[in-house]
């Protein structure tokens, strides 16, 4: 199989909050990233999504990674693949999403 990724992926397990802006749901859904790049992200969560769904998500890069203050990444993207996995009586949904745009917000105490 040919590698189709355009950017390097980083194996990062970070908490992520996901919202579906098109549905105007008042609450976000928690998840966990598995890997991320500047063009896409793969995360797991309990909510089932459909390919093509628009998503807004926020994740936090801790100070251990940024070597300074924590950094928040707010992104908008589209689901391109959904993997359903069952283990120990509960289902986990794996979601691959392409990132269409993102903003980086530095935490307090940043001088940049």
| DSSP strands (E only) in the chain | 10-11, 15-19, 29-36, 40-45, 54-61, 71-87, 90-106
The domain 10-106 is placed in CATH, from the list 2.40.10.220, 2.30.110.10, 3.30.70.980, 2.170.190.11, at 2.40.10.220
* Cβ–Cβ under 8 Å, residues 56 and 94: no
* Rounded distance between C-alpha atoms, residue 76 and residue 58, angstroms: 9
So what's the pLDDT on residue 111? 45
pLDDT tens, position by position, for the chain (112 residues)?
A: 455 556 788 898 999 999 988 766 678 899 999 999 989 999 999 988 999 999 999 998 888 888 888 899 999 999 999 999 877 777 889 999 999 999 999 876 544 4
DSSP state of 13: -
* Rounded distance between C-alpha atoms, residue 13 and residue 32, angstroms: 6
């Amino acid at each position: 199989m040919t590698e189709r990724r355009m950017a390097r992926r980083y194996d990062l397990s970070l908490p992520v909050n996901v919202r579906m802006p098109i549905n105007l749901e008042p609450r976000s859904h928690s998840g966990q990233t598995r890997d991320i790049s500047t063009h896409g992200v793969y995360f797991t969560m309990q909510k089932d999504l459909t390919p093509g769904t628009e998503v807004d998500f926020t994740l936090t890069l801790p100070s251990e990674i940024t070597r300074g203050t924590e950094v928040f990444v707010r992104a908008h993207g589209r689901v391109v693949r959904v993997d359903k996995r069952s283990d120990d009586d509960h289902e986990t949904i794996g979601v691959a999403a392409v990132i269409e745009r993102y903003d980086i917000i530095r935490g307090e105490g940043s001088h940049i």
